[in-house]
Amino acid sequence: MSCASFLDNRNSAPVQTTKKSKIALVGLKLEELESILTEFSEPSFRGQQIFEWLYRSRVDLFDQMGNLPSDFRNALSEKFIIHPLKEVHVTGSSSEPTQKFLFELQSGEKVESVLMKEGKRTTLCISSQVGCAVNCDFCATASMGFQKNLSVGEIVDQFLHVRRAAKTNITNVVFMGMGEPFLNYNRVIAAADLMNAEKGIKLGAKRITISTVGITSKIKRYTDEKHRYKLAISLNGSSQESRLQTMPIAKKYPLEGLLTVIDNYSLTSRHPVTLEYVLMAGITDNIDDALKLIDMLTGHRCKLNVIPYNDIGGKYKRPADDVIEAFIIALKKAPFPVTVRWSKGTDIAAGCGQLAVMESSVIN
């Protein structure tokens, strides 16, 4: 099998095999690297060597892969490149240790990732799609529309580039950047598996969180497949009606069915889900909403994460601080844990829901 046809058959996005763009190695798992080797008449242990160079070391050039014969390195570089993404720009927040990275795909589209540091935890928020099809009313990514699914390599490469550029250990990864991870399910799971792989990046499963808008069928599948990554679900409403107000997808995946699959997940996996709840002034911030949330979620194995709305210049507003505080106080009676996420990097549009790449915002 030629490399191109082998790669085209993977569950990743079809690889562009035009003369201009070579195939990227980042994104391939061990068995895939090993099957490439047959074409070069190299022994299969080279697959392991390349795997470690790609994911464990921080090298960026074939010539730095010291334990590969130089002829083989040259032959590899004729056909392949290492990274599917090119770093275009990094923006640092002036008030917090938060950085936003802009990347370009081989096919020209752009995506963003956000690195946030807090205490001992360094979290990378990564994108799973260019744009998003879900169309939540309060999220900036929606304005881009859906452009494409990222490949496994384009997802994992965000991690590798940031780890190298930021010269830091990334302790946690959250799929909370652009896109709906469960509408790119196979590649997101394959990317999480690669980041979790023992001989590679080796990020613990519990340090990877996948956040979904609530694609019920995929939550079921995720439960059946017994993945160990943490699951977060964007609730964003205290009832079906309230969810529908800002999330058109709630029509297709109503709250009742969503809560059933969430229960099944937490019972089967024995792990609670985190329910994310964006606080929008006059929309989701009434004390009555807090009481409804307590009613609705009591008896369910979950955590509630309240996210004060980050401005995207749309029709919604962040509630005043005293309103946020009153909402949290009302939730004190809840029998489940409640946390508040004060988003990082809102001054550089890097907070939750603020990621959107507009052509005019691209700096070369």
Q: Of 34, 42, 96, 112, which residue is the catalytic one? A: 112
Q: Which of 65, 115, 176, 215 binds ligand SAH (CB under 6 A)?
A: 176
Burial of 76 (0-12, 13-18, 19+ CB in 10 A): buried
CB closer to ligand SAH, 12 vs 209: 209
Active site residue 180: no
Are 211 and 221 spatial neighbours (Cβ–Cβ below 8 Å)? Answer: no
Between 200 and 237, whose beta carbon lies closer to ligand SAH?
A: 237
Number of residues that bind ligand SAH (CB under 6 A): 17
Nearest to 56 by CA among 201, 193, 236, 268: 201
Per CB under 6 A, the list member of 213, 231, 259, 334 interacting with ligand SAH is: 213
Kindly state the smallest distance separating residue 274's Cβ from ligand SAH, in Å: 9
Do residues 304 and 325 lie in contact, with contact meaning Cβ atoms separated by under 8 Å?
Answer: no
One of 27, 348, 353, 356 touching ligand SAH (CB under 6 A): 353
Residue 129 CB, shortest distance to ligand SAH, in Å, is 9
Q: Say how far apart CA 74 and CA 84 lie, in whole Å.
A: 19
**Residue of 211, 216, 238, 284 interacting with ligand SAH (CB under 6 A):** 211
Yes or no: say if 291 and 330 are a contact pair by the CB < 8 Å rule: yes
Q: Give the integer Cα–Cα distance in Å for 249 and 167.
A: 39
Alpha-carbon span 294 to 26, nearest angstrom: 44
Task: State the pairing for strand pair 85-92/80-81.
Answer: unpaired
Cβ distance 101 to 112 under 8 Å?
yes
Residues 256-295 that bind ligand SAH (CB under 6 A): 276, 278
For the purposes of burial, counting CB atoms within 10 Å of the CB of 40, is it exposed (0-12), middle (13-18) or buried (19 or more)?
middle
Nearest approach, Cβ of 174 to ligand SAH (angstroms)? 8
CB of 139 to ligand SAH, least distance (A): 4
Whether 112 is catalytic is yes
Helix (DSSP H) and strand (DSSP E) numbers for the chain: 11, 14
Q: Which of 147, 236, 242, 274 binds ligand SAH (CB under 6 A)?
A: 236
Binding of residue 139 to ligand SAH (CB under 6 A):
yes
The least CB distance from residue 120 to ligand SAH, in Å, is: 23
Binding string, 301-320, against ligand SAH, x = CB under 6 A?
------x-xx-x--------
Contact residues: ligand SAH, CB under 6 A: 138-139, 176, 180, 211-213, 234, 236, 276, 278, 307, 309-310, 312, 352-353
**Catalytic center residues:** 112, 352
